[in-house]
Amino acid sequence: MSIVTVQLGQCGNQIGFEVFDALLRDSHSFQGLCSKRENEAYQTSCKERFFSEEESGVPIARAVLVDMEPKVINQTLSKAAQSGRWKYGQHACFCQKQGSGNNWAYGYSVHGPRHEESIMNLIQKEVEKCDSFSGFFIIMSMAGGTGSGLGAFVTQNLQDQYPNSLKMNQIIWPYGTGEVIVQNYNSVLTLSHLYRSSDALLVHENDAVHKICAKLMNIKQISFSDINQVLAHQLGSVFQPTYSAESSFHYRRNPLGIDWQVRPPLSGLPPLGKMSLSKDLHFNTSIANLVILRGKDVQSADVEGFKDPALYTSWLEPVHAFNVWKTQRAFSKYEKSAVLVSNSQFLVKPLDMIVKKAWNMFASKAYIHQYTKCGIEEEDFLDSFTLLEQVIASYCNL
Amino acid sequence: MTQSVVVQVGQCGNQIGCCFWDLALREHAAVNQKGIYDEAISSFFRNVDTRVVGDGGSISKGKICSLKARAVLIDMEEGVVNEILQGPLRDVFDMNQLITDISGSGNNWAVGHKVFGSLYQDQLLEKLRKSAEHCDCLQCFFIIHSMGGGTGSGLGTFLLKMLEDEFPEVYRFVTSIYPSCEDDVITSPYNSILAMKELNEHADCVLPIDNQSLFDIISKIDLMVNSGKLGTTVKPKSLVTSSSGALKKCHKKPFDAMNNIVANLLLNLTSSARFEGSLNMDLNEISMNLVPFPQLHYLVSSLTPLYTLADVNIPPRRLDQMFSDAFSKDHQLLQADPKHSLYLACALMVRGNVQISDLRRNIERLKPSLQFVSWNQEGWKTSLCSIPPVGHSHSLLALANNTCVKPTFMELKERFMRLYKKKAHLHHYLQVEGMEESCFTEAVSSLSALIQEYNQLDATKNVPVQDLPRLSIAVCCFHWLPY
């Protein structure tokens, strides 16, 4: 089953390139920790999901590149072509001449409607190329104008046009200390809109990834390239094939088929009695955790720690909230690797921070004239604030 | 990719403009080794087939045939423009891009604005429209002028209103040279204040610069070059004042070095829009991020480094020094001290081999010593452009929307009032048709209102920042959208 990736804006396109590169690189790096047949099945599955085949044999990424100015897309296309291992489709991009100016309103209200048809057509073409289509992976940042505003617009359109397909948005949380001065406005507007139209928001914070580069990888002069590669590595280890529960000989067909929709009970159900294994450590309360293990000794790995009720909200039994996927085929150059995808309170603090800063700025009305002149009114801001406060409250109550 | 048109008005505007075009050619020649007309060059230059009669057919791709500046040159005297057209840059301009007269504006804003404004209105419109038509996607007009004279000040600001009406979607970035205290034009306060009203109302963004600051920077550089400290030598092309490697061979006029600084400012401002980098910043992002309220659009700029020493290996300490310098008052292009005033917003535009971690480290380091307005505590906009300026391995342009512009405006107002109270030289203005005393009083009011805005912001300095009460949400049951 195939995923169509939509890369939006400078960030989305720069990351998108690294993701496809990481996926293909891993697909070609066989460590011999599983059988040859397994490896071949892995490679086939990976290719089917993310690439289509060309006569010349060079895999073409199943991706649509969108940006409102040409520099980054040009660079991305040529980097891919230069690698020789894969490339982007010839007609897979949509580009304009003048960017969105870090203005969410411009991306959403001006560029969106203006280029709706062209962009949706491109995406449609890519979807039609898939034998069996599973969903969308949309890569965007929150801080700028195109990724954030146009990204929100496109996601909404995808919701309308493909209501039965999964839409997962990879959003990049900006550094706490400015990349863009109006990043908090743009983030608030993006999140509130995505909440209404996306199925899952996969979040990566620049600050967190930066720390990984500095503390864990000891990189001295960290560039965006370094950051994007760490990100791509993480995403690759989530999206590469894993065994399905039914049979250990077939890779699961639906790569995004995690049960993201957790329905909380209506009020009135008593909390389940729980025995906590460890009372001292304080964890963020989760409603869903997915662990993916790859490589040596996966069958004997002990994941009992993840089933501790202390990790989960009182109205969920760990067995309903925790999932583990395994494959013996190792990822990249790592003999053993594990990745955790979590739906928990970890985002409450950063989200609260962004809402707080945006609210303080909104009270002074600073920069609002830049948004209203493109059709986003103060009311739209208020709606967004309201929705996000609700999200924060919901997560806090877990 | 977008294009920009430079409109250079008056003696000062044209002299700076000339330096700009010279350095722009030098920069693009250094980057574009193959001589292919690419999108970066197209932002400021047209590629023209000179064999085609008339306007010269524009060539959009392929080898560079003949580059023509996207510029309109305006002066009410002929001296400066004639010199440009006879100088080494003559092929970069053509006759269709000029508007000149012979009599000059006599250092009188009213003559520049009212007399020449109405006289040349149609011609101006025609030339501007033509230059816009040559652009695939015109994003910005860069207006270069001085405030103290008659043409740059008067006609330059007349243009602003015209551009706003005719091309409302195109940004208007104005580089204005403010008169220093010892300015030898007696009526410069009148001209400046009359011009300021127009800047307040019709410019998107103003970069105020004064001659004294430019002069101080040059003195500093001269001192460094001539001191022969520790036997170090300065790389000639790296001087922010130098035109080494450019077409003009030597500093004929005393202002050349100063003009080169301003020319470099414009090049660095547009570098991230023209060249690639890991974090691009287009011109429309400048306005979006640095102008929180429409009337507060004055940005103080500082450029570092002013020169590069000949030793090639730049240790990180040198890099950090670059950031520190950007905030020192010696590097500002206006007599201003942003460090001790209030920041509304700040942009750091870096060029060269600098990565995001260098940027972050320095922001963290410098932040505690700077005061930001309460609603924009982390008001930083950053950009990383891979291509450094000629002669440097890296450079930094800092743009600050800061209350430190206030003293310049207040001082200007004081000089104005000293003249106005005595009605000195007023008759030269009032005898121009369309000029009345109300023009003066309105202009002063406009400036006073602006100063008042800055005063109100300054009053919030040192007041502890308090978080405002947030929306309170009643959560009695979860809100989930039905599927």
Q: Are residues B347 and B423 in the same domain?
A: no
ipTM reported for the complex, 2 dp? 0.87
Is B124:B74 a contact under the CB 8 Å cutoff?
yes
Q: Is the minimum CB–CB distance between B276 and chain A shorter than 8 Å?
A: yes
Whether residue B470 and residue A389 make contact (CB cut-off 8 A), yes or no, is yes
pTM of the model: 0.89
Q: What is the CATH number of the domain that holds B435?
A: 1.10.287
In a domain, B465, yes or no: no
Residues in chain A within 8 Å Cβ distance of B296? none
Whether residue B379 and residue A360 make contact (CB cut-off 8 A), yes or no, is no
Residue in this structure with the two tokens 């949509």, named with its chain if needed:
A94
Q: Are residues B268 and B354 in the same domain?
A: yes
Q: Is the minimum CB–CB distance between A217 and chain B shorter than 8 Å?
A: no
Q: Are residues B199 and B212 in the same domain?
A: yes
Q: What is the pLDDT of residue B229?
A: 55
Give the distance from residue B317's alpha carbon to the nearest chain A alpha carbon, in angstroms.
Answer: 13
In a domain, B94, yes or no: yes
Of B1, B376, B471, the CB nearest to A389: B471
Contacting A residues, span 106-135, partner chain B, CB-CB under 8 Å: none
Structural domains of chain B, count: 2
Is B72:B8 a contact under the CB 8 Å cutoff?
yes
In a domain, B53, yes or no: no
Whether residue A99 and residue B284 make contact (CB cut-off 8 A), yes or no, is yes
Residues in chain A within 8 Å Cβ distance of B381? 102, 178-181
Q: Which residues 6+ apart lie within 8 Å of A317 measured at CB?
A: A272, A309
Torsion of CA B456, B461, B465, B471, to 10 degrees: 10
Q: Are residues B392 and B417 in the same domain?
A: no
* CA pair distance A90, A21, nearest whole angstrom: 17
Q: Are residues B277 and B312 in the same domain?
A: yes
Residue pLDDT, tens place only, A5-32: 999 999 999 999 999 999 999 888 887 7
Contacting A residues, span 353-382, partner chain B, CB-CB under 8 Å: 355-357, 359-361, 363-367, 369-370
Residues in chain A within 8 Å Cβ distance of B375? 360-361, 363-364, 366
Nearest to B303 by CA among B365, B258, B345: B258
Among B372, B407, B442, residue at a domain's last position: B407
Q: What is the pLDDT of residue A273?
A: 39
Q: Where are the beta strands (DSSP E) in chain A?
A: 2-8, 51-52, 60-61, 63-67, 87-88, 93-95, 133-141, 166-173, 200-205, 286-295, 322-327, 336-344
Q: Are residues B453 and B381 in the same domain?
A: no
How many of the other CB atoms lie within 10 Å of CB of B463?
A: 8
How many of the other CB atoms lie within 10 Å of CB of B360?
A: 21
In a domain, B56, yes or no: no
Token pair, residue B183, equals 């300015």
Q: Is the minimum CB–CB distance between B1 and chain A shorter than 8 Å?
A: yes
Question: Which of B355, B374, B476, B479 is the best residue to mutate to test the A interface, defined by the most A CB atoms within 10 Å of its own CB?
Answer: B355
Q: Are residues B89 and B209 in the same domain?
A: yes
Whether residue A223 and residue B278 make contact (CB cut-off 8 A), yes or no, is yes
Token pair, residue A282, equals 């304080």
Question: Which of A10, A181, A187 is the best residue to mutate to test the B interface, defined by the most B CB atoms within 10 Å of its own CB?
Answer: A181
Per-residue pLDDT of chain B (483 residues; tens, 9 = 90+): 899 999 999 999 999 999 999 999 999 988 888 888 888 899 999 988 766 665 556 677 788 888 899 999 999 988 888 888 888 888 899 888 999 998 888 999 999 999 999 999 999 999 999 999 999 999 999 999 999 999 999 999 999 999 999 999 999 999 999 998 877 889 999 999 999 999 999 999 999 999 899 989 888 888 877 765 544 556 666 667 766 666 654 445 567 888 999 999 999 999 998 998 989 898 999 999 999 999 999 999 999 887 765 544 445 557 888 999 999 988 999 999 999 999 999 999 999 999 999 999 999 999 999 999 999 988 899 999 999 998 888 899 999 999 999 999 999 999 999 999 999 999 999 999 999 999 999 999 999 999 999 999 999 887 877 788 888 776 554 444 443
Q: Is the minimum CB–CB distance between B381 and chain A shorter than 8 Å?
A: yes
How many of the other CB atoms lie within 10 Å of CB of B132?
A: 17
Q: What is the pLDDT of residue A332?
A: 83
Residues in chain B within 8 Å Cβ distance of A214? 357
Q: Are residues B325 and B445 in the same domain?
A: no
What CA–CA distances, in Å, run from A84 to A21, A56, A87, A178? 11, 12, 7, 37
Contacting A residues, span 295-324, partner chain B, CB-CB under 8 Å: none
In a domain, B467, yes or no: no
Q: Are residues B25 and B150 in the same domain?
A: yes
In a domain, B477, yes or no: no
Whether residue A360 and residue B478 make contact (CB cut-off 8 A), yes or no, is no
Whether residue A72 and residue B280 make contact (CB cut-off 8 A), yes or no, is yes
In a domain, B480, yes or no: no
Q: Are residues B374 and B417 in the same domain?
A: no
Whether residue B475 and residue A72 make contact (CB cut-off 8 A), yes or no, is no
In a domain, B131, yes or no: yes
Q: Are residues B310 and B438 in the same domain?
A: no
Token pair, residue B273, equals 């829009």
Cis amide bond preceding A350, omega within 30: no
Per-residue pLDDT of chain A (398 residues; tens, 9 = 90+): 889 999 999 999 999 999 999 999 988 888 777 888 888 888 888 888 899 987 788 899 999 999 998 889 999 999 999 988 899 998 899 999 888 999 999 999 999 999 999 999 999 999 999 988 989 999 999 999 999 999 999 999 999 999 989 899 999 999 988 789 999 999 999 999 999 999 889 999 999 999 999 999 899 889 999 999 999 999 988 888 886 554 444 555 444 444 444 444 444 333 443 333 444 456 788 888 888 888 888 888 888 888 888 888 888 888 878 888 888 888 888 888 888 888 888 889 999 999 999 999 999 999 999 999 999 999 999 999 999 999 998 888 88
Residues in chain A within 8 Å Cβ distance of B387? none
* CA pair distance A242, A251, nearest whole angstrom: 5
Q: Which residues 6+ apart lie within 8 Å of A281 measured at CB?
A: A310
Nearest to B31 by CA among B277, B266, B241: B277
Q: What is the CATH number of the domain that holds B389?
A: 3.40.50.1440
Domain limits for position B418? 408-460
Give the distance from residue B367's alpha carbon to the nearest chain A alpha carbon, in angstroms.
Answer: 10
Q: Are residues B150 and B8 in the same domain?
A: yes
Q: What is the pLDDT of residue A345?
A: 87
Contacting A residues, span 8-27, partner chain B, CB-CB under 8 Å: 10, 14
Burial string for B295-329 (b: 16+ CB within 10 Å, else e) reads ebbbbbbbbbbbbbbeeeebeeeebeebbebbbeb
